[in-house]
Structure 1
Amino acid sequence: MSFKDLQLNKPILRAIAEAGYDNPTLIQQKAIPAILEGRDVIASAQTGTGKTAAFALPILQRLLHKQDAPKTGKKVKALIVSPTRELAQQIEQNFITYSTHTQLRTAAAVGGVAIEPQKEALKKGVDILVATPGRLLDLHKQEAVNLTAVEILVLDEADMMLDMGFLDDVQKIERLCPSDKQSLLFSATIPYKVEKFAQSILLQPERIAINPNEATTDKVAQLLYYVPKPQKIELCIYVLRNTIKGNVIIFRRTKYGVDKLESSLTKNGYTVASIHGDKSQTERQEALKEFKKGNAQILIATDVAARGIDISDLDAVINFDVPNVTDTYVHRTGRTARAGKEGITYTFCSADEKNYIANIQKAIGIQLDVIKDHPFPLDPEAKPQVHKKQGSKYKKGRKSTASKKKKKRWY
């Protein structure tokens, strides 16, 4: 199937061709016709399978006949709600790319950056708004955005949105839009709470499900290294020097872990960028920009970056810390081997993370390839380290003996 078979208009087809895409992915083949028919859709598909284009292309097609409205007369007709700033900005860029040969205008409204430029853009008029929940509600409170003309509402990465505690905000946003809008819900997984939420807002939706394990098994070599936890940094440097050629994202569980690894790799001569929750939005954008340009060969991140960052030709992903949630492993792995390309994932497992590996392998239905030939093997009999809480070095009691001697008493 080609994009022409999906009955898309010439301006959109031209933009798709210029972006280098020839054939639609499976999620696009199934979702685009349903959205063009005006149906509500609930779709689950692995990250990296082209979900953004699956809703962006039909939305642009449906709004084409309204593209010539005067700029100041434009109202938000399509609203895309995203859980993270990075993902929202990525979606915005996709819409801009696909609408190059139209007069449709797209803007993003995200937190962490100044609100005034966003208010100014909305005042000038936009057709498509991509927003994070908190910033969107802030703009609404300040009467800077009007959602009464919304025709299409998209909730992207719905499972992540609910996990991050945005359920109340998303429900408020949904109620601010007209009741007769078309609603689209896209998610990597459809757990019970997402299903329940979907039932409350979608009307007889078209259900689309793409095998969630397909992208992690077909195109990605998944390698597993057992290693003592104190030697993970040494193993990381060894793998970077001897195995990986090209750019790589390394995932760590904590912000402290990101900073520590960045310091170690920088001392060893690597150019490194990093993103985590304590960095400002400007710092995070700059880090991504440097990585995409090739000025930094390594990006270290917490899972704030696990979804939505579209980096072409990413060679490898390193799971420095094994995620304790299977979906997180799938999302991390999905950063490489995007759009049908091949990739490789390295996972470093210490003794206390073996249970996580067992759960991951059970969920994705394959055994990871164990690499035993490396300088820092983990003893198969090694037990997880138990960190006992140390008591006070002082004796129990009101005062130490020394302090009692020094204290001059009146009696």
Structure 2
Amino acid sequence: MGHASRDPNPTLDPILNKFEDLGLTGPLLHGLEQAGYETPTPIQAQSIPEILDGNDVLGAAQTGTGKTAAFALPILQIMWEDDQDRPHPSKRRGGRPGRRPIRTLVLSPTRELSAQIEANFRIYGKKTRLRSTVIFGGVNQNPQVRELQSGVDTLVATPGRLLDLCNQGFVDLGDVEILVLDEADHMLDMGFLPDVKRILKLLPHDRQNLLFSATMPGPIRKLADEILNDPVTIQIAPQKPTVERIDQSVCFVAQADKPKLLNHFVESKAIGSTLVFTRTKHGADAVARRLVKAGVKAAAIHGNKTQANRVRTLNKFKNDELDVLVATDVAARGIDIDGIQTVINYDTPNTPEAYVHRIGRTGRAGREGETVMFCGG
């Protein structure tokens, strides 16, 4: 793999382009119309043509910029066109007769994000014959194994569960043609980099590679140099910096008075859909219980909750059945909800990066947002 990188076409105007101008055709355009997509975002306008051309891509873009569609749409287009040329999906380039081989592998750091990515593949590819599934830990593996055994074109996975199923012989990555590493910096933060490198050894050398990350720390740049071949580098800056879109404030309060202050904020301010961050899982449960006792529609989400519970809670929050979602940092990695109006840091984050991630859950898709930090002993 090479180390060079190059910029995409500098004359591309992402604001004026329509999806059909980017090389998407057939059922993909129909799916986009049904999903209500009209104009591509900058990351989509710059990434889609490059991916369709078969180039490796190194993308630096924050969550909320339309990144999933930027790689999912061209990947679906490539596989759909392949199906038109070869109508029997079980017989691929270098593949073996039988069930559908996995042609695209998407790695992401959390269960929630993986589930969202796979759901988007299904939505965009609804009018194609392409199949996808998602695997992650924390749930019974048997339903996931059955899905894999039925054959899928796209597999979205967290690294740990994927390696586990590979070791058990349930996953064959020998026919993967496209690899996507999404939220690569979060995978680094969560300690998945060694697992990612083990997975890379199971993949064919001849493949297209796409790496997306909100930030580019040293280890991620090194990984990009190792796996990307002459990549096109796409860097998308927010149209308006986060600090300008979000009203940030600090409240100095004793630890014992935090519950009362939180109730005051929730009850006396029109703060809308609210995300509250705590440092620990136990703390998230305790805060949620106190809010419910005070008559607030609230629930907690963290790593000790079952996946089914986390999905139900997130769906309730998205559908406005909950006013307040209490979360730990790791659990919030997959929260991608445009309508969050307020973020309250009940506990101070441990690092500046954690703070930026937390407040980035609001002020999304060009909206204004508000964040409050509770500082005290």
* TM-score normalised per structure 2: 0.88
Could you say if the C-alpha distance between residues 101 and 220 of structure 1 is closer, same or farther in structure 2, counting changes exceeding 3 Å?
A: farther
1:70: Cα distance to partner? 4.8
Q: For residue 341 of structure 2, what is the aligned residue in structure 1?
A: 315
Give the structure 1 partner of residue 13 of structure 2. Answer: none
Q: Does 1:56 align with 2:72?
A: yes
The question of 1:232 aligning with 2:248 is answered: no
Higher-RCO chain (CA-CA 8 Å, sequence separation at least 6): 2
| C-alpha spacing 1:319/1:17, structure 2 compared with 1 (3 Å) | farther
After TM superposition, give the deviation of residue 30 of structure 1 in Å. Answer: 1.7
Distance 1:194 1:251, change over 3 A: same
Contact 1:50 1:339 survives alignment (8 Å): no
Pick the aligned partner of 2:151 from 102, 110, 125: 125
Q: CA 1:349–1:312 in 2, change beyond 3 Å: closer, same or farther?
A: closer
Kept after mapping to 2: 8 A contact 1:40/1:202 = yes
Q: Is the 8 A contact 1:162 1:194 kept in 2?
A: yes
The question of 1:346 aligning with 2:371 is answered yes
Q: Find the partner of 2:198 among 162, 172, 183.
A: 172
What amino acid is the match of 1:174? Answer: L
2:160 matched to which residue of 1?
134
**Residue 37 (str. 1) matches residue 53 (str. 2):** yes
The one-letter code sitting in structure 1 at the alignment partner of 2:253 is: V
**Residue 94 (structure 2) aligns with:** none
Of the candidates 264, 280, 286, which is equivalent to residue 290 of structure 2? Answer: 264
- Answer with 1 or 2: which has the greater Rg: 1
AA partner of residue 55 (structure 1): F
SS at match of 1:318: strand
Alignment match, 1:354: none
1:292: how far off?
2.3
- Cα distance in 2 for residues equivalent to 1:268 and 1:92: 37
| Structure 2 Cα separation of the partners of residues 231 and 346 of structure 1 | 19
Gaps of 5+ in 2: 1-16, 91-97
Check the 8 A contact 1:215/1:334 in 2, yes or no. Answer: no
Q: Does the CA-based 8 Å contact 1:322-1:347 persist in structure 2?
A: no
Aligned-pair identity in percent equals: 48
Cα offset for 1:280? 1.9
Please name the residue that 1:75 is paired with: 101
Distance in 2, Cα, partners of 1:324 & 1:44? 24
| 1:123-162 equivalent positions in 2, closer than 5 A | 123-162=149-188
Offset, 1:312:
4.1
The Cα of 1:212 is off from its aligned counterpart by: 5.9
Query: Structure 2: how far apart are the matches of 1:57 and 1:117?
Result: 26
Offset at 1:76? 0.6
In structure 2, do the counterparts of structure 1 residues 3 and 329 end up closer, same or farther at CA, with 3 Å as the change threshold? farther
Mark the runs of 5 or more structure 1 residues left unpaired by the alignment. 352-384, 386-411
Number of positions where the alignment pairs a residue of Structure 1 with one of Structure 2:
351
> Are the aligned partners of 1:90 and 1:309 in contact in 2 as well (CA < 8 Å)?
no
TM superposition shift of 1:213: 8.6
Q: Measure the CA separation in 1 of the matches of 2:69 and 2:178.
A: 15
Q: How does 1:3-402 map to 2 (within 5 A)?
A: 3-67=19-83, 68-70=87-89, 73-211=99-237, 214=240, 216-340=242-366, 342-351=367-376, 385=377
SS at structure 2 position matched to 1:126: coil
Instruction: Return the alpha-carbon distance in structure 2 between the equivalents of residues 102 and 221 of structure 1.
Output: 44
Q: Which amino acid aligns with 1:344?
A: G
> Do the aligned residues in 1 keep the contact of 2:57 with 2:231 (CA within 8 Å)?
yes
What is the rounded CA distance, in whole Å, between the counterparts of 2:197 and 2:368 in structure 1? 38
CA deviation map 1:51-100 (0-9, x unaligned): 11111111111111234435763111000001111110011111111111
- The CA deviation at 1:218 is 4.8
Q: Which residue of 1 aligns with 2:12?
A: none
Q: Is the 8 A contact 2:344 2:371 kept in 1?
A: yes
CA RMSD of aligned residues (A): 1.9
> Kindly tell me: are residues 236 and 69 of structure 1, through their superposed partners in 2, closer, same or farther at Cα, counting changes over 3 Å?
farther
